Amino acid sequence: MLRKLIPLALLPTILSLGLTQAQTAETSQAQPSEAGQSVYRKVLASSTWIHSDRGNGRLATGSGSLIDKGRRLVLTNYHVVGNVKHALVFFPVYDRQGKAVPERIFYLQRRKQLAIPGEVVEIDQQADLALIRLDRVPSGTPALSLARMSPEPGQNVHSIGNPGKSDALWVYTAGKVRQVYTKKWKAKLDERTILTFQAKVIETDSPTNPGDSGGPLVNDQGELVGVTQGGAIDAQLISIFVDISEVRRLLSRRSVQALRVEEGSAVGTPPAIVRSEPLPSKDEGRFFQPETWMQVQKVASVLYAQKKLDLVVETYERFPGPEADVVAKLSPPERDKKVRQFAQQRMEQLRLRGLYVLILRQPTYLLVMRHGDDIPGSENLAGKLAQQLLADFRKKEFDAGMITFLQTLQKDTGLSPPASTAPKTPPNNPPPDNKRER
């Protein structure tokens, strides 16, 4: 006898928001363990919330994940998109502390700015899989890596979804694999439609709910091993995920392989609004007078308000983190590589789109990086700004250098009003004696 499963796309109507029957087990919204937190942070940026308009006031919502950045492909369930040709896809928005905004209402209120249109380009109705090709991918968004093999029973797994019964998005759930096997089953999509599926599946002990459909199931390395499909309505803590082998079979189709990989602004342009406030800067190295630092914060606020661009300036006494002593002893080329890696990770962590300035005292180092494909200003803006900072820093005129930097930035990006002049008396500290630009 076939066990009945409930597909986990949420299909409300204008008059009712909860027509799909939920599992009896509650979605785990507890804080993940330390290992779970690491996996969650890694996978979250690739996770999506999907809206599919079925007509007549019916909106299906589900989950998904970016699995191919070059082709701009988001993976989800067939029953999330049904037979529609287009869908809207949301990615997590990060606040000034670098944490994803979880409130569902935040995204609904900013739907026009945050929702990315996509076309359903491929479906596998039997395996309950679908691919959505986005118009663009937010800058800095990584694609999930695909596991080479199916998971084993007893293996830890992690999932992210958007349960409709919760007011939160990006909900984390941990579990263990019970078994991996081939299954044929039926699922009720709505009051009129019953779907039949047959695929290799992963059975876990983790709870799932309507709205989680299509979301990623990953291993401890953050690699995709499955796609959330449904939960058994007559058994607690049994959930079904479509196995990675079915995903690879879908991706191997000629029609998918023929999709052109595109580079440039279509891939790198983020949504117009990425957070509610500008990103904060920090002067832990104490290079600047308070008046100068106020100007940094003022220009950063104006830049974000007028251009939706970020300016983040971070100064440190030493290379941040436990590797400070190691970095100090590296050769200049190795140190340059290490510092650049740190800067790149910071920009990705902050979801920064604009300019990032990093200043170290020991070892002395100055770096200006430009992150984003459509930043206004000259192409060599970062290099020009780095040269200006370096010239004044070598004379120990830290404040004067930063004010000149801010004025040039405002001029090149068309900002108004210009920053006022701050005191030029610098702290008695040695300046960085090298420059790195990009």
Q: From first to last of the 438 residues of the chain, give the pLDDT tens digit.
A: 344 454 555 544 322 222 232 333 333 444 456 778 889 999 999 999 999 988 777 889 999 999 999 999 999 999 999 889 999 999 999 887 788 999 999 999 999 999 999 999 999 999 999 999 999 998 889 999 999 999 999 999 999 999 988 999 999 999 999 999 999 988 777 677 788 999 999 999 998 888 999 999 999 999 999 999 975 555 457 899 999 999 999 999 988 988 877 543 344 444 444 466 788 899 998 999 999 999 999 999 998 888 888 899 999 999 887 788 888 888 888 888 888 888 888 887 777 888 999 999 888 889 998 876 556 555 567 787 888 888 888 888 889 999 989 998 888 888 775 445 444 444 445 445 444 444
Q: Which domain holds residue 112?
A: 5-268
355 and 227 inside one domain:
no
274 domain residue, yes or no: no
> Is the same domain home to 249 and 300?
no
Let me know whether 181 and 116 are in one domain. Answer: yes
Residue 143, both tokens: 């694609």
Edge-first strand listing for the sheet containing 282-283: 282-283, 310-318, 354-362, 365-371, 436-437
What is the total count of domains within the chain? 2
47 assigned to some structural domain = yes
Among residues 245, 268, 291, which one ends one of the domains?
A: 268
Give me the count of residues in the chain: 438
Give the domain-ending residue among 229, 244, 268.
268
CA distance 177 to 225: 11
Q: Which of 268, 299, 318 is the last residue of a domain?
A: 268
pLDDT value at position 30? 41
Residue 324 backbone phi and psi in degrees, to 5: -55, -45
Q: How far is CA 75 from CA 86, 196, 266, 339, 411, in A?
A: 14, 20, 19, 35, 43
Same domain flag for 287 and 261: no
Given a contact cutoff of 8 angstroms between Cβ atoms, the answer to whether 17 and 198 are in contact is no
Helix axes 398-413, 381-393, angle to 10 degrees: 160
**Are 183 and 292 contained in the same domain?**
no
**How confident is the model at residue 414, as a pLDDT?**
82
* pLDDT at position 16: 27
CATH number at residue 117: 2.40.10.120
Q: Are residues 264 and 286 in the same domain?
A: no
Return the SS3 of 55: strand
Are the C-beta atoms of 129 and 78 separated by less than 8 Å?
yes
Question: Measuring CA to CA, which residue among 129, 67, 46 is closest to residue 259?
Answer: 67
The model scores a pTM over 0.85: no
* 10/155 same-domain check: yes
- CATH number for 371: 3.10.310
> CB burial class (10 A; 0-12, 13-18, 19+) of residue 156?
middle
pLDDT at residue 353 in the model: 82
Q: Kindly state whether residue 110 falls inside one of the protein's structural domains.
A: yes
Q: Which amino acid, one-letter code, is at 6?
A: I
- Does residue 275 sit within a domain? no
According to the model, what pLDDT value does residue 423 have?
A: 45
Whether 96 and 74 share a structural domain: yes
Residues 96 and 188 in one domain: yes
CA distance 358 to 389: 11
Domain membership of residue 212 (yes or no) is: yes
What are the two backbone dihedrals, phi and then psi, of residue 204, each rounded to the nearest 5 degrees? -125, 170
Q: How far apart are CA 216 and CA 241, in angstroms?
A: 9
Neighbours of 377 (CB within 10 A): 19
Helix (H) or strand (E) holding 54: strand 47-55
Q: What is the pLDDT of residue 21?
A: 28
pLDDT value at residue 343:
87
The predicted pLDDT at position 87 comes to: 96
Whether 50 and 162 share a structural domain: yes
Q: Is 82 within the bounds of a domain? A: yes
- 419 and 396: one domain? yes
Do 238 and 366 fall within a single domain? Answer: no
